[in-house]
A and B are shown apart, each in its own frame.
Chain A
Amino acid sequence: MPGKSYYFWKDSFRREALWFRPLIAVLFGIFFLRLAQLQLVRGAEYHRLAESNRLQRFSIPAPRGRIFDRNGEKLAGTRPSYSLYISPEGLESGQIREIADKIEELTGRKAEKILSRFYSPRRLPFGVAVLASHLTLDEILILEENFHYLPRVFIDVDPVRDYPYADVFSHITGYTGQISPEELERLRKFGYRHRDRIGKSGAEMVFDSLLRGRDGYREVEVGASGRHRREMRTVEPVPGDDILLSIDRDLQLAAAEAMEGKTGTVLAMDPSTGEILLWISSPGFDPGTFTVPRSSLEYLELFEDPRHPLFNRPIQGQYPPGSVFKLVTAAAALETGVPSSREYKCEGEITVGHDRRVFRCWRDSRHGKIDIKEALADSCNVYFYLLGLELGPGIINTAAREMGFGKRGQDIFPGEKTGILPDPGWKRAHIGGGWNPGDSVNMSVGQGFILSTPFQVLRMTSMIASGGIFMRPSMLKLVVNPDGKLSESHTPTIEGSSGISPGTLDVLRRGMEMSVESGTARFLYSPVSAGAKTGTAQNPLGDDHAWFATYAPADKPEIAIVVMVEHGGYGAVAALPVARRILMEKFGDRIHAKAD
């Protein structure tokens, strides 16, 4: 042993080896601290994360509530739809191709389409994929017979929305669709979730919170590979409420039949309650289109249809009201002190203003000397031209507002238009130029710049029929809980009364009744007494719009109806028969009663 260097080395070695224990102390100190940080400080947070790692929630959709008419006839419900699923676990890579080919061979559904669904990233829990949806009964039968060729394939049932009357009730029920990002943003706080189905229009939208119910879920413990599954707990869904609407299915069906092929609106309301009895916007659409996936071509057809089936005409269509507006002019005159016995002589036409414009009556044979009721009954233009010249736009507008024009008339459906009530200020701002006497003449018979929605005309008719009361328009009658209990029922509420005096309204009603007895509406042949006003509105887009407003029975009105046929021609010809069909449906049995 070399003495000196040995000791030098020994000492240096000792010195360096003495670092070992401090070194492990520091290293293990770090580990202890880190362990404490993870387990003691952040333990709760990691515990929560580990729980969500292991537990997956699978939503169980709540059955959507059904929609019925006032007599309990189903307008929208749920029906089973069968889809073909595959649980691809344990399937070899080439097998899916074979399966797809086999399905094509059996059902004719394209293998490429099936494969693209299989490979789409949107998978259900456990990697399950939908191969084909909305299977027909034939397809189900042939697939089930051949299941031994289709490993890991199964058929399952999902509820889909079903509308038994296709397009008849389309604007009443509306339709459902997948929730949009904007809707989700707005509704998240009410419990709506990504991929929910939600009402997009009509009652489906307005009463969505009643209809949707509350989704349940299954909580499943799932291992990393997906092989381990254990049901932890199930929260059953709460089905949505059923709702009864004030709509009368039979009236709606009758009206729809009468409107077949026509474009326009039919509305009816109970004047004593404000309940809406029918609501047709023609053409309609099949709400089921949005339930069952269709080809994009079919959607395109619907959206691009020049007759705009998705357009809710009763509140979104704005038309010149034509002669039905004469009721407003008459009311304006009577309210400003013009006596109901005031007579004008109809010579078939009048000449107005410096430019000597000629305005004609609709009847070439002249009405001669008539009073206001006769003028309403036979819809004499000249009489109202002269009244309009006398009153001017201000007075007419005031009466029009009292009778519901120029503002929204309901709070059931959104998107309502207000129409236009023109006055000199409006004309200057929108058209230019001053107010001519000719503008007053036009306005007196609902022509010119004035626009109104069919719903406004309905409200006016209903108000006249009820003696000056505006009932709040309503469509929801009853809400029934899933366990069959009544949870809510609608009580008619008065929204307000019009400023028109009862005496004036009596005159208007008399004029309308005379119209049915012997005037322009004499072909109504109503089974019960009725009052009516026809209208034929010229418009720059084509043939005249046909209007017809009526209420019946005359002594105690139970229904107010407005029919509006776009480019239908004479109101008495195109619109009247639709109203007559509704009256027959509603009051037809009273003919026999009378005969007895």
Chain B
Amino acid sequence: MRKQIEIKVLIYSAILCLWGVMAVISTTAGTPGYSGLYLKQLIAVLAGAGLLLFLRFFPYKVLQELSPVFYIVSVALLAAVLITGVEVHGGRRWLALGYFYFQPVEAAKAAVIIFTAYILEKRGGSALPALPLIAVAALVLAQPDTGSVMPLIPVYGAMLALSRADTRWMGPAVIALLTAGLVLLLESYLQISADTVLRVRYLMFFLAFTGIAVFLFSEARRLNRTLRWRSFTLLALLIWAAAGTGAAAAHSLRPYQQRRVVAFLVPDMDPLGAGYNTRQSLLAVGSGRITGKGLFGGTQTQLGFLPVRHTDFIFASVAEELGFIGAAGLLTVFFLLLSQFAKIIERTEDYGGRLIGTGIFTLFLTQTAMNIGVTLGLLPVIGIQLPLVSYGGTGTVIFLGLTGIMLNINKRTEVIGG
């Protein structure tokens, strides 16, 4: 079983990496100045494969013990990038290392996962383990690179949820976050469209919903006396407060920011503005139809309509050139790889190993889901790599390294579990 899992993981990640190199070749071939990129990607894959093999054999427990050092180094690198980083598109994200550029945030993600697992196992609690994340988030947001830290929030949430820490507060927190986010979206939309009818309708919906909730709760309470009005009231207050916060945040946004938030809801509203990327991505994906336009044949990809097609929108390019068959195939490989990761976590009995595994699994899953969600117009545009496939040396090396750690955890499952 253990062996089977390992072989599958190796095969799936190899497919993803090679598919990625192929996609980078296709997306950069027609763009002068991008011609050498696939070589860099290939070198990164080879380096990552080396790291994978190394970590496959290097005990993750030792890694966990060393994690404070990794963490401090990666924070130092993040600080360094703020000072001496290469500026591209108004953000400092890279450190120049000769032929290569190093993206410290990718390494920091790995360090945060392992260090958080370390704290959770050593000290427990739910506030202290959040510190590594908060420090890294602060430094990354200063670059500014919001997209890169976002996946760390669900990573931390998942690790905490599966830890021994008291997590009863997490349910309400997730509800509050979702409410605030939803209201932020709706309010931004209303601010732009000035749709008073919709505004009235959604206020009424909110009131009606509260009323129904109160009714249901009182009915439930009649059946089960142990339900407390106090906790229900607190929850209701929390939701109202979250909604208020969301609304306030929407109103404090500048119009162009509101437009960007809304653009993914209605990409056609502003085809050349904020919705441009989503629209071009949808055109690329949709026009690929069943069999695609052929490698190097995608008009959206090859003529430059698809933005950052070798990184953030590489999946759209695959969908355009290889069609539903190709895109669904790529999705399937991701699904299979993540299933193997989930299996490893289920089979692991070591606390630290489960925490690290959960972190790695969630990071993989979140980045994949966010990237593909953006490409398919299900999420607003967030710049984020598709693990192992997108162009990006640091990310590829780190994700292969994390896969190596997963294999190491897998290797030890039955030994520890007995």
Q: Mark A residues whose CB is within 8 Å of B.
A: 9-10, 13-14, 16-18, 20-21, 23-25, 27-28, 30-32, 34-36, 38-40, 42-47, 49-51, 53-54, 221-225, 228
A-B contact pairs, 16 of them (CB 8 A): A9-B351, A16-B162, A17-B354, A20-B342, A20-B361, A21-B343, A24-B365, A25-B335, A31-B372, A31-B376, A32-B331, A40-B289, A42-B286, A46-B287, A50-B283, A54-B305
List B contacts of A222 (CB < 8 A).
303
B61-69, B197-205, B236-244, B321-329: which lies at the interface: B321-329
- Identify whether the interface residues of B are mostly helix, strand, loop, or mixed: helix
Q: Which of B315-359 contact A (CB under 8 A)?
A: 319, 323-324, 327-328, 331, 334-335, 338-339, 342-343, 345-346, 349, 351, 354, 358
Residue in B164, B299, B323, B373 whose beta carbon sits within 8 Å of that of A53 in the complex: B299
Complex alpha-carbon distance, A54 and B299, angstroms? 7
Whether B80 is near chain A, meaning CB under 8 Å from some CB there, is no
List A contacts of B365 (CB < 8 A).
23-24, 27
Complex alpha-carbon distance, A15 and B248, angstroms? 39
B346 touches A18 (CB 8 A): yes
List B contacts of A9 (CB < 8 A).
164, 351
Q: Which residue of chain A has the shortest Cβ distance to B306 in the bound complex?
A: A224
**What's the least CB distance linking B120 to chain A, in Å?**
12
A20 touches B287 (CB 8 A): no
Residue in A25, A28, A39, A221 whose beta carbon sits within 8 Å of that of B285 in the complex: A39
> Known: A21-B342, A31-B331, A35-B331. Is A10-B349 also a contact (CB below 8 A)?
yes
List A contacts of B372 (CB < 8 A).
31
Whether B288 is near chain A, meaning CB under 8 Å from some CB there, is yes
Complex alpha-carbon distance, A10 and B347, angstroms? 11
List B contacts of A46 (CB < 8 A).
282-283, 285-287, 289
- Identify whether the interface residues of A are mostly helix, strand, loop, or mixed: helix
Whether B369 is near chain A, meaning CB under 8 Å from some CB there, is yes
Complex alpha-carbon distance, A31 and B374, angstroms? 11
Residue in A21, A25, A35 whose beta carbon sits within 8 Å of that of B324 in the complex: A35
Residue in B283, B324, B334 whose beta carbon sits within 8 Å of that of A49 in the complex: B283
List A contacts of B304 (CB < 8 A).
223-225, 228
Whether B300 is near chain A, meaning CB under 8 Å from some CB there, is yes
Q: Which residue of chain B has the shortest Cβ distance to A23 in the bound complex?
A: B365
A17 touches B162 (CB 8 A): yes
The 3 closest A-B CB pairs, nearest first, are A46-B286, A50-B287, A43-B289
Complex alpha-carbon distance, A221 and B161, angstroms? 53
Residue in B290, B334, B335, B351 whose beta carbon sits within 8 Å of that of A43 in the complex: B290
Complex alpha-carbon distance, A54 and B323, angstroms? 18
Whether B284 is near chain A, meaning CB under 8 Å from some CB there, is yes
Complex alpha-carbon distance, A359 and B161, angstroms? 117
**What's the least CB distance linking B194 to chain A, in Å?**
26
> Known: A34-B376, A53-B300. Is A47-B346 also a contact (CB below 8 A)?
no
Whether B378 is near chain A, meaning CB under 8 Å from some CB there, is yes
Q: Which of A30, A31, A38, A223 has the most CB of B within 10 A?
A: A38
> Known: A50-B287, A54-B299, A224-B304. Is A38-B376 also a contact (CB below 8 A)?
yes
B331 touches A44 (CB 8 A): no
List A contacts of B300 (CB < 8 A).
50, 53-54
Residue in A28, A47, A225 whose beta carbon sits within 8 Å of that of B287 in the complex: A47
Q: Which of B237-287 contact A (CB under 8 A)?
A: 280, 282-287
**What's the least CB distance linking B173 to chain A, in Å?**
16
Residue in A14, A47, A54, A228 whose beta carbon sits within 8 Å of that of B286 in the complex: A47
**What's the least CB distance linking B343 to chain A, in Å?**
8
B346 touches A20 (CB 8 A): yes
List A contacts of B376 (CB < 8 A).
31, 34-35, 38
Q: Which residue of chain B has the shortest Cβ distance to A16 in the bound complex?
A: B162
Q: Which residue of chain B has the shortest Cβ distance to A47 in the bound complex?
A: B287
Complex alpha-carbon distance, A214 and B328, angstroms? 47
Complex alpha-carbon distance, A35 and B303, angstroms? 22
**What's the least CB distance linking B161 to chain A, in Å?**
6
> Known: A20-B342, A24-B338. Is A50-B284 also a contact (CB below 8 A)?
yes
Complex alpha-carbon distance, A23 and B289, angstroms? 27
**What's the least CB distance linking A6 to chain B, in Å?**
9
Complex alpha-carbon distance, A16 and B161, angstroms? 8
Complex alpha-carbon distance, A131 and B331, angstroms? 53
**What's the least CB distance linking A461 to chain B, in Å?**
65
List B contacts of A50 (CB < 8 A).
283-284, 286-287, 299-300, 305
**What's the least CB distance linking A20 to chain B, in Å?**
4
Q: Which of B72-111 contact A (CB under 8 A)?
A: none
Q: Which residue of chain B has the shortest Cβ distance to A228 in the bound complex?
A: B303
Complex alpha-carbon distance, A562 and B339, angstroms? 98
Complex alpha-carbon distance, A36 and B304, angstroms? 24
Residue in A14, A28, A38, A221 whose beta carbon sits within 8 Å of that of B282 in the complex: A38
Complex alpha-carbon distance, A13 and B365, angstroms? 19
Residue in B286, B335, B377 whose beta carbon sits within 8 Å of that of A24 in the complex: B335
A27 touches B354 (CB 8 A): no
